[in-house]
Amino acid sequence: MTAGASASRYLRTVAGLRPAQGVHRLRLRGQRAALGRLPATTPVFRRRGGAAAPGWPAGFAPMDAILADGFPNAEDNAEGRFRFLEDTREIGAPDGWQQLTAGRLWRYHLHYFEWAWAFSAHPDRDWARDAFARLWRSWRAGAPVWRGDPWSPYVVSLRAWAWCGAYEPLVAGSAIEAEWLAAFAAYPRFVRAFLELDVGGNHLVKNLKALLGLGVFFGDERLRRVAGDRLEEQLAVQVLADGGHYERSPSYHCQVLGDLLDVQGLLAAAGLPPLAGLGEAIAAMRRWLGAMLMPDGDVPMFNDCVRVGRRRIEALEPTAPATVEPLILLQPSGYAVMRGGDRLHLVADVGVPCPSELPAHAHADCLSFELAVDGERAVVDTGVSTYDAGPQRAYERSTAAHNTVEIDGADQTEVWGVFRAARRAKPTLRYAAVDAVAVDAVAVDAVAGGAVTLAASHDGYERLRGRPRHLRTWRVTSAAVEVTDEITGAGAHRVTARFHLTGDAVRVSSSGPGVTAPSRPAQIATGFGQRQTGEVIEVAVAAELPVTLRTRITPAVTQRRRS
């Protein structure tokens, strides 16, 4: 890409941002740079006066304490052995905490200190306190102060929450208590000074959750009020009318829901008034999650999304729909759930890829879908396995990695870098019907009936010559899913519809003049650092527009599988 083209793409990327985001980005960079030049011993962030006896209220159990995961377990961690993102590493000497050869997300996980929850829950309290003290002192000696990954605002926010939870079981009354509290005293003013107002989204929720937790921990009413007021404002921004989180990633939805549940539980345990709108937001997010879950009990993999795990999802207590309906439209967040009898379960992405001001987790996946047959995922999203810059990250965000149509090898949404997107596909939900009875796509939540038809289009390819436009129609019955892709416009183009499969639960057949449908192996991510081999069928044609591709997906067995 030429320098001019690169500059043009950058301008297209920032065009959707709010001016205040740029101001906050410059402010935060300036603050980080100034802080990084100070000696480690500089007491920049002294805490205001607060409670004489710090701590959280007895009986409060945050989500991480309930789940209490170790990485891989507390005993291994005590020996300096940590496993994140399917990568195990040894800390060794204190300077091993920097782990410069690891990916940035791996280092973030190390410095989150979320692994401390496993020590807090360990049955041998004396062993856990001694082991944690050794690790904390080693970390203090080896991790950079005021600079680098340990002092990313997001990382500090997660570590602050974990340290609040670690105090009573691991620190209070121990040999490290005075030193630990002296170090922790800087965190309230640091988090407040570095609120990620340039990013927003789940990062800002984490900042505010930490700030509120610190306010309760140190008995700082002013800090609690600042955090609570800002979080109330964010509820209106980040929780959509259908209950979906506005970043349109099901796993980030779960993360934010867990954060809000933690805030609600902490305030209640402390005898403090609830935040305005918090209970309603949690209830709506639970309903959305209950509607979106796949039959295996986990989330569909749209945008930057990983499997959450049934144990964590169950802790979030999703609200299942009162009745099993053939069609659920979640219009504000842009998803549709379609069922063909009790065998076929399809979730389609018919919404915008991201908020206009926050493209970080967007993929070029408009009109993609996932399909389960007899409770097992059959047509799957290829997911996300890394946040590290490089070809794998670029591929997993691309249109080619999703169950939708690619034209001339281009991405429908112009994703680039690790977390950026320039021009974005704009979708339109055209038609929704059950048993050929049209449904008002704006007003309806769920309708009863049999065969489900849904049609949507997007303009992501209109920047190409001939201004191609993609219209996709799904028809879901108890016997099959029929996908019709109509590409309008002019000129000769290569059109490719891809269907990524795992297992052998379905058969895929396609038709159309000049259409080919070869298959090849494909890598499908199931989580960070985790990929498995599947299959992708590429339904392709090179022809003058308009072009129509028809694909029929049927269960590979005629009888429902029995357990």
Tens digit of pLDDT for each residue in 305-327?
999 999 999 999 999 999 889 99
Given a cut of 90, whether residue 6 has pLDDT beyond it is no
pLDDT exceeds cutoff 90 at 416: yes
Per-position DSSP letters for 208-222, written without gaps between them: HHHHHHHHHHTT-HH
* CB of 190 closer than 8 Å to CB of 159: no
Beta bridge partners of 345: 339, 372
| CB-based contact 124:174 (threshold 8 Å) | no
Is the bond leading into 72 cis (omega within 30 degrees of zero)?
yes
Out of 303, 320, 337, pick the residue that ends a domain: 320
Tokens of 264: 């609600």
pLDDT at 437: 64
pTM: 0.94
Do residues 528 and 396 both lie within one domain?
A: yes
Same domain, 372 and 248: no
Q: Which helix (H) or strand (E) holds 407?
A: strand 405-407
Regarding whether 294 and 333 lie in a shared domain, the answer is: no
> Does the residue 17 lie in any domain?
no
pLDDT, one tens digit per residue, over 58-115 is 989 999 988 877 788 999 999 999 999 999 999 988 889 999 999 999 999 999 999 9
Picking from 185, 206, 226, the residue at the C-terminal end of a domain is 185
Q: What is the mean pLDDT of residues 443-447?
A: 38
d(CA 122, CA 198): 39
Predicted pLDDT of residue 15: 83
Does residue 3 fall inside a structural domain? Answer: no
Report the relative pairing of strands 492-501 and 506-511 from DSSP bridges. Answer: unpaired
Residue 201 and residue 158 share a domain: no
Question: Is residue 478 domain-resident?
Answer: yes
Residue 23, in any domain of the structure? no
Q: Confidence class of residue 19 from pLDDT cuts 50, 70 and 90? A: confident
pLDDT tens digits, one per residue of 336-367 = 999 999 999 999 999 999 999 999 999 999 99
Task: Tell me, yes or no, whether 422 and 529 share the same domain.
Answer: yes
What value does the mean pLDDT of the chain take? 92
Q: Taking 80 as the threshold, does the pLDDT of residue 293 lie above it? A: yes
* pLDDT digit string, tens, across residues 215-256: 999 999 999 999 999 999 999 999 999 999 999 999 999 999
3-state SS assignment for residue 524: strand
Instruction: Give the amino acid at 416.
Output: W
pLDDT, one tens digit per residue, over 145-169 is: 888 999 999 999 999 999 999 999 9
231-263 residues labelled b (16+ CB within 10 A) or e (exposed): beebbeebbbebbbbbbbbbbbbbbbbbbbbbb
For the purposes of burial, counting CB atoms within 10 Å of the CB of 444, is it exposed (0-12), middle (13-18) or buried (19 or more)? middle
331 and 315 within one domain: no
User: In CATH, what number is assigned to the domain containing residue 466?
Assistant: 2.70.98.70
Collapsing DSSP states into helix, strand and coil, what is residue 132?
A: helix
Residues 99 and 132 in one domain: yes
**Is 294 found in the same domain as 360?**
no
Final residue belonging to a domain, choices 152, 185, 218: 185
**361 and 443 share a domain?**
yes
Query: How confident is the model at residue 46, as a pLDDT?
Result: 66
Residue 5 is assigned to a structural domain of this protein: no
Judge if 446 and 545 occupy the same domain.
yes
Q: What is the pLDDT of residues 200-223, one digit of tens each?
A: 999 999 999 999 999 999 999 999
Average pLDDT (26-46) is 80
Query: Is 53 part of any domain?
Result: no
Residue 142 and residue 149 in contact, taking contact as beta carbons nearer than 8 Å: no
Residue 133, in any domain of the structure: yes
Do 471 and 330 belong together in one domain? yes
pLDDT at residue 563, as a whole number: 41
Give the model's pLDDT for residue 319: 98
DSSP 452-515: EEEEEEE-TTTTSTT--EEEEEEEE-SS-EEEEEEEESSSEEEEEEEEEE-TTSEEEEEESTT-
First to last CA, the chain: 54
- Domain match, 84 and 180 both: yes
| Structure-derived torsion over alpha carbons of residues 200, 202, 206, 209, reported in degrees to the nearest 10 | 90
Task: Indicate whether 255 belongs to any domain.
Answer: yes
Q: What residues make up the domain containing 102?
A: 63-185
Q: How many domains does the chain have?
A: 3
